[in-house]
Copies of this chain bind each other. A is one copy, B any other.
Amino acid sequence: MKILFIGGGNIANIVYNELKDHIEKCWYYDVLQTNLPCERMNDFTIPNEADVVVECASVEAVKQYGVDILKSGKDFYIISSGAFSDEDFFDKFMIELKNSNSTVYVPSGAIGGLDIVYSIRNFIEKVELITRKPPKAFGLENVFQEQIIFTGNAREAITKFPQNTNVSVTLSLAVGDFNKVNVRIVADPDVDQNIHEINIYSSVGDYKIIHKNKPSPNPKTSYLAPLSLAAALKKRTEKFRIGG
């Protein structure tokens, strides 16, 4: 596989390590020189040879380069799904995608159970995403019982809690309706790590998924997020695919 990474930091490094047996050639575009063992591009250009473009950078990078990537016709893997909370950008992107040869992949990121969500999306009544963090994560002290810091949809959550953006937007995209997903952010003195809980209510069943993610070398990113990106890329090479 020949990969252009956008962003050469922590996430790209984890993806590279997971995939290295499958990588024939790779490049990265980043403002900084990093330790990613791929050729650095000084300007944003997409090598003709590349099979896929893999964004491991930021919401801004998706917005800035997304349409150009679709014009190249390369398959495009996106970790910063938060870009799609911007309706104008999302509409523009989807129109461009219609006329593109690209397929776009938004891996499940720091959460899971999207296999259930996507399968039953037409039967979903509502979904809750409850993120619990220790009170000190919000700069709070002397909190003795759980305290809801935010409740609303993914788009509303973004301005207040940008660090939660990708999780709530990816979940909302899987549901196919931002208004069916209630995002709640809770300061909880009973937890010592970040916990994402997803509750799905539907006419075909009810589901609960609890995630206790451990951080990757960059503590702002859980390990699961880059591993889900690596897994989505690895499936390209597999003839026996489990889980759709």
Q: Which of B113, B203, B240 contacts A209 (CB 8 A)?
A: B113
* Chain B residues closer than 8 Å to A204, beta-carbon distance: 213-214, 222-224, 227
Stretch at the interface among A32-40, A102-110, A142-150, A155-163: A102-110
Stretch at the interface among A54-62, A116-124, A180-188: A116-124
A: number of interface residues (CB 8 Å) = 54
State whether the Cβ of A235 lies closer than 8 Å to any Cβ in chain B. yes
Asked whether A210 and B208 contact (CB < 8 A) given A116-B112, A227-B119, the answer is yes
Residue pair B118, A239 in contact (C-beta under 8 Å):
no
Residue pair A239, B103 in contact (C-beta under 8 Å):
yes
* Chain B residues closer than 8 Å to A49, beta-carbon distance: none
State whether the Cβ of A211 lies closer than 8 Å to any Cβ in chain B. yes
Q: What's the dominant secondary structure at chain A's contact region?
A: mixed
* Chain B residues closer than 8 Å to A239, beta-carbon distance: 97-98, 100, 102-104
Copies of this protein chain in the complex = 2
Residue pair A208, B205 in contact (C-beta under 8 Å):
no
* Chain B residues closer than 8 Å to A123, beta-carbon distance: 223, 227
State whether the Cβ of A170 lies closer than 8 Å to any Cβ in chain B. yes
Q: In whole Å, how far is A241's beta carbon from the nearest beta carbon of chain B?
A: 5
State whether the Cβ of A212 lies closer than 8 Å to any Cβ in chain B. yes
State whether the Cβ of A191 lies closer than 8 Å to any Cβ in chain B. no
Per-residue interface assignment for chain A, residues 110 to 145, with 1 indicating a CB less than 8 Å from any chain B CB and 0 otherwise: 001111111110110000000000000000000000
A-B contacts besides A108-B115, A207-B210, 12 pairs, CB < 8 Å:
A98-B239, A104-B239, A113-B113, A116-B228, A119-B228, A119-B230, A204-B214, A204-B224, A205-B223, A207-B209, A209-B209, A228-B244
Tell me the A residues contacting B by CB distance below 8 Å: 18, 94, 97-98, 100, 102-108, 112-120, 122-123, 170, 173-174, 203-214, 222-224, 227-228, 230-232, 235, 238-244
20 A-B pairs with C-beta separation under 8 A: A106-B240, A106-B243, A108-B243, A112-B119, A113-B116, A114-B243, A115-B243, A116-B228, A118-B242, A170-B242, A204-B213, A204-B214, A204-B227, A205-B211, A205-B212, A205-B214, A205-B224, A208-B209, A208-B210, A209-B209
